[in-house]
Structure formats: C-alpha cells, structure tokens
Amino acid sequence: MAKESGLGFSVIVDDSGGSARTISNDITNLDFATPREEQDITGLDKSARERLLLLADFSVTFNGVFNDASNMSHDVFKTVPSTSVARTVTMAISGQTLACEAFFSDYALSRSSSGELTWSAPGALSGGAVPTWG
C-alpha cells in the first residue's frame, strides 16, 4: 500500500430514524480520534513508566456547508437537539472503513460576515463497541 491523500473520503451518518444518509458532499473537513485510556501501574521499583491500556473511545467533529435538501446534512443533524439516539457513523477512504455508534451532542450553525452558512456536529462513541478499521 502506498501513501495516499484524503481525497475521496466517504461519510455516512444515520438520521434520527436510523436511515443511513451519505453526506460526504456537505462535509468540508472533519477531525476524528480513536484514543485509548491508560492506567499508570509504575511500581516504586521502576525507573520508567509502566502502563496498561484500558477502554477504547471514538470522537468526531464534522464541519460542513448548510444543505437543507432532502436526506442531506441538515436532515441528518436537525434532530440532534430534540432526540437522544445513537447514530451509526461510517467513514471510508481507500477501501478502509471505520464504523461505530455515536451520540451527537450539538448541531451548531454559523453565518459569517461574508454570508457563509456552515455547521459543526461533534459526536462521541455511544455503544461500547471498540471502533475498528475494517
């Protein structure tokens, strides 16, 4: 496998009814992380740290351009303030896929002084299953 760009990134997020919606075209950039908690178990007899890996996690923030067309980003995220449902998030690039269940905690809209209408939607792991690239 060779080094590659991030071009061709695909993002699918469930709406509040559980229907998967491809919203890649509305997303301008994203940040995601799959960190692990660590427990320091260093004994007094050690001169360097010892650690155990603990729980896995996932977080994502999607940023995009407002699109209120049917089944696009506004339809997907407009119910974030009024529903408490986990949504399947699937991200794919170059034949690699990362899928997990996430809660979205905000759907923030921003209108700049130049007229741009953009949004941001942060999510975090909800289902207890380890996010794994497949």
Instruction: Tell me, yes or no, whether 63 lies in a domain.
Output: yes
Q: Does 1 fall in a domain? A: no
Q: Is residue 3 a part of any domain in this protein?
A: no
Instruction: Specify if 67 maps to a domain.
Output: yes
Q: Are 118 and 65 in contact (CB under 8 A)?
A: yes
Q: Is residue 28 part of a domain?
A: yes
Instruction: Classify residue 19 as left (phi > 0), alpha (psi -120 to 50) or beta.
Output: beta
Any domain includes 74: yes
| Amino acid in the structure at residue 112 | S
Q: Which two tokens stand for residue 1?
A: 């496998």
Does a structural domain hold residue 5?
Answer: no
At 35-82, the pLDDT tens digits run 999 999 999 999 999 999 999 999 999 999 999 999 999 999 999 999
Q: Does a structural domain hold residue 2?
A: no
Domain boundaries, position 74: 10-41+49-133
pLDDT tens-digit series, residues 6-29 = 999 999 999 999 999 999 999 999
* Alpha carbons 17 and 51: distance in angstroms, whole number: 41
Domain tally, the chain: 1
